[in-house]
Amino acid sequence: MNKLVLLAAASLALAQMAHAADIKKGEELVNKGGCIACHGAGLDKPIAPNYPKLAGQYQSYLFHAMQQYQAKHQTPLYGRNNAIMSGMVAQYDTQDLQDIAAYIASLKGDLYIRNEMH
């Protein structure tokens, strides 16, 4: 029985590693996507007061927010309605969104107030 438990734990660990967010890839996607054009250098200096500061936000919040922008056209109950953001995130798959969220969460800005355990 112990071997079965160890095998299950090892399988779970490998699955999580396979889908772990890649901060470096997230940085590349953010740079390629031109996020600084609206959210500013360091993603903490938005060009307009109604654009959010992103640096230091929780990874899970960022990920789900981007998913909601993608889902805008699928369900009005879940989706966020912003034509710019919907267009920006439409090109990314779930892993890309995880990578982007991990990178942005790793940035320090005015909102960075914790040492989140993963």
Residue 106 has pLDDT above 50, yes or no: yes
- Please give the angle made by the CA atoms of 58, 60 and 64, to the nearest 5 degrees: 120
**Is pLDDT larger for residue 29 or for residue 116?**
29
- Which ranges of 1-93 would DSSP assign to H, the alpha helix? 2-18, 23-33, 36-39, 59-70, 83-89
pLDDT at position 14 is 44
Token pair for 110: 């005015």
Range 82-96 average pLDDT: 93
pLDDT at position 1 is 52
pLDDT at position 16 is 46
DSSP 53: P
Taking only the tens place, the pLDDT of each residue in 42-85 is 999 999 999 999 999 999 999 999 999 998 666 666 667 888 99
- For 10-35, letters b (16+ CB in 10 Å) and e give eeeeeeeeeeebbbebbbebbeeeeb
Its pTM stands at 0.75
How many other CB atoms sit within 10 Å of the CB of residue 7?
10
Range 22-34 average pLDDT: 97
Length of the chain: 118
How many other CB atoms sit within 10 Å of the CB of residue 62?
21
